Every structure is written in structure tokens, then in C-alpha cells.
Chains A and B, each alone.
Chain A
Amino acid sequence: MNSTETVISAQGLTKVFKDFWGRSKARAVSGIDFEVKRGEVFGLLGPNGSGKSTTVKMLLGLLYPTKGRISVFGHSPRHVQTKARLGYLPEESYLYRYLNSEETVDFFGSLFHIDSKERRERAEQLIQMVGLENARRRHVGEFSKGMQRRIGLAQALINDPDLVILDEPTSGLDPIGCREIKDLILTLAERGKTVILSSHLLSDVEDVCDRAMILYGGKVQAIGTMKELLSNRNATRITSPALSRETMDKVLTLIREDTQSQEVHVDNPTENLESLFLNIVEQARQRESETSGATSGHQVADYLRGDTNQNKTDRALDHLTRNEESPLNPPDREQQKSKPIREDKLAGLSKIETDPDQQPLEVTPNKGEDLDKANDKLSGLLGD
């Protein structure tokens, strides 16, 4: 946390949608209180219809609270000057379909009164950053969903915002794009920017957020730091180099004696699906790469890093797919990557990590029902 400055403050925030006659139709948000400090990455979690988007839209002044107070940088969300410090990526592409990438970024930049030279430079960097340099002249209406998300993200960052509100930012993106978004969020946070991440994808929030608020039925069900929310104080995990069978038996015996419980499990740490996928694509890229769609592997725009020196452009955190061991990666992210997510389903897949000659398409043999499910998911991600 870089500062204790309160960026967002909501007290008793309530939103009731009414019909034409003023009768209540739905209570989307019901008396929620929360604060977000400067430099925080704050997650809004909840299932569909839980009030995440309504909250976000009240933060942006697109919906007006029925009750309660909300302030952004100490002002009403409708305060025009305050909006100059905001960047917003909506959950769907609400862009002008007849504009191309450059025109889109340039138009939204012009609303911030950024001079045309600066606007052009930023637009160029942003378009490269989101991997649309090959599609800069194509109309947004022709874009795939993922490409629309990318150009949406570019326009959201044109003003180097102090507060970035991202509504389902990884929706429609391929895993590389998802990772890039997460990298970007962390980079922004490094610079003291505040990020609001609204998502129903738990992994997105878990990977990047400092704090999160879980909504259900328009009410706050839980709020706190990720550690507070996720730690299970009734269990302990020990990670060590591979142990011999004898040592393992000794350790298990000791633990069982100590805990007086038979519920002690031992397994091998496995990589999560995202890391696996990124490794495969990285290998493919190293062999050969050419695409007519969105590309990846681009640096975060200079001005977003607060870095105007071209020589510094190879700094860490530019891209995790290339630079997994970036010094700016928070240590807990390394732990998260080794977390045994869906270990049972990925046990077989993890073997390919030990076989560098394995071809990527051979990763998906039929190895039982669980493996099929994992493969389906992987195919879906690749096909996006």
C-alpha cells in the first residue's frame, strides 16, 4: 500500500431498479459499505446478478444510488474533473463499431484533452501493448470478442488513469491475454494506481488482488485481504524437495501421532492449467509464430510504467510469459502457481513438463474422463 488515501468510499450504498410507475423491480445492491485505498488492487467477486456491475456503474456515475453515499477521490462519481483520473473497461465491448483501433483510442483520448501528438504516441504504445498492431486499420466491428477486449483495455488506459475499473477484464481473452491483463494490473499497482477488478472468475481475483469483496444478492458476504479470506487455519501444508518412501513414512507417522487424525494427504505439487498452457504456447512461439489476429508478448506502454526511457523497456513484469521469474512478481504469486489446482485432473498432463521433445498437440491424448474435460477446456482456450 503506497498511501492511506481513500480513493473510493461507499456507505450504505443501495440501488433499487424501478419500473415505469416507480414500483421497485429489483434490489440490485443493498446497503453495502466499503473503502478502497490508493494503490490497492481490489476485487469485486460474486456470481452473476450479485450486484458487481451495478456497483461498478454507480462508481462511474452511470447509475445513481437509490440510497447511501459514494465518493471517488472525494467527489461524486459524476464530477467531471474526477473522471479525468478514471479508466474503465466495461464487461462488453461498447465501442464504435465503425472506428478502427487507432481512431478508437484517439477519439477517447481526445475526450481527455490530451494533445494530438501525445495522443498518437500513447495510442501507438497502447495498440502495441494490447497486441493489435496488425489490426490497427481494421474496424472494431470486425473484431473478435478477445480483440474487442484488447482495444477496450487500450482506450481505458489512454489517460494513464489513477483509478482503473475493470469489469470482467479477462472475459473472451485467451490465456496469454489473461496473463497480460494480470501483469498489467500488477504493474499499475506498482505505480500506485488503484485497480478495481470485478469478476466472477475466482482465479483472476486471487492472482492479483490485495483485497476482495464478495457480493451475493446485492449484499457484502465477505471482505478482506486475500490472505484473510483464503487462509485455512485448520490445515497445514508442507512443501519440500522429493522425499524417499522411508522419510515420507516417518513424517506421516509423526504427523498422525501429533494430530491424532488419519486425514493426512501426500501428493506431488502440480502446475496449474494456466501455467501449463503458457509454457506450451511459449514453446510454440519459439519454434515459429505468425498470426493475423491479436498477438502477444508486448511490453506495457512506457507511460503506464512511468518510464519514458526506451532503454528501460526491458524491465521485469513486461511479460510473464517471457519472464516468469521477474523480480517484480510478488512472491505469493509463485506460491500460487505451484498450488495443487485440479491435481487429480492434471496429474497426467504434468508429465509433459519433463519431456521437452513432446509436441504440443500431443498433449491431448485420451487418458480417461477427467483428462478429456481438461483437454476440452484447453481446446476452448486455444480456439478463442
Chain B
Amino acid sequence: MRNLRFVFEKKGRAAYLSHLDVMRTFSRSFHRAEIPLRYTEGFNPHPFISIAHPLSVGVTGSREILDCDVLTDDANLIERVNKYLPEGLKTVQLSDATRKVNEIAFAKYQLTLYYDNRDRLLAAEWLSSLFEKSYIPVMKKSKRGMVEINLAESIDKLKIDVVDDAFGDELKLSVLIKASPAPLNPRYLIESIVEDDLRPDFVRYHREGFLDMQKQSFV
């Protein structure tokens, strides 16, 4: 038995899959590839599969983490699994799951903000100053209803780039979001923008990967 760590990308049409969808899809891909898995014992056996900090529906990722217990010594599992995954899901790296996922300290996100026919340079300036504040209030849903949290406590190394590309009306925002005590959904960054003129018309969310306390790549 090996406890393996599949590093996978989730992009394109697969971006719209939920956490449970991704779990189910991987599990079925293992079946199709005839890779034997370790199952739980008990009345309703299911394979040992877990995904660290699952992505929300619509969010893409380059280096997502799935751990599972397999009962084979085959070294060629990446190709075997990838052959049976649907479009948009792909294993990019495979290793033993030695590091504990609770060593993940940050998630690195890139947000693309679209300002349709608006002055993105002005927006970039304003947003830079907004995210520099030491107290950025945002309302977050909790078990006890809506509570105000300070976004500034959860973000690190926020950087805004004005990129020149075909559209010419987008900003790239890269940021580290603390993974503990609870990973914060990056959409709160956008929700913290109260000024209507600064709110983008559309935001694309992408997670580049996970970092540890030393801000080194986790896998």
C-alpha cells in the first residue's frame, strides 16, 4: 500500500466541477485505469481519497493536491490515470504523500479583473491603496450569521499588474491567502471593494499552488 499525492491541474471545462465532482471523477478514473485502491472498512466502503483545500466551482488550479491510498507498485501511474481523466483534469506530478497537508500555509491565487470599457489604470491605483490598509472589513457568512472580518489579516504579498493583451481592459492581481486557521475564499477580495467604479465586471480566479510557512512551494 502506498499513500500517494497526485498533483493535478483543473482547468477549462473542468473548472465548473465541484469538489465532490472532482473526487468522484478521480475515483472513477482509478477504476477505469484498474488501479486498485484501499477502501474503508465498515458497512459502506469507499476509497481513501482526499483533496486539500478544495476549489470552488468555476475556479481553476495548476497544482491541486489529491491524496489516496493505492495497492500497486506500478511506477507509471501518471500516464495510466491521465488516459482516463476527462478534459481539463490532468495529473502533473506524483509523489509519496509524506508532508502533511496541514503544513500548507498559503495558497497563491491569481485573479484577472475585467473592466469593460473603463479606466483600468485608475482602478489599479485605487485598488493598490485599498489593499494596503491594515483593516479591510468584509462581511463573511458564518454559523452565527454574517460577521465582519478583517481581510488584511488573511492576505499577503498582494500585487496588481496592468497587463497589455488583446482585451486591454484587464488587471492581474496576485496574492497569497493564508490557509489557516481557515482558508479564505478569494472572492472576499472583490467583495471588500465597496466603490462601484472599482468593482470589476468579471473576475477570473486561478490558484497557482500552495506554499509552506517559508513561502516555498509545498509540493
Query: Does A associate with B in a complex?
Result: no
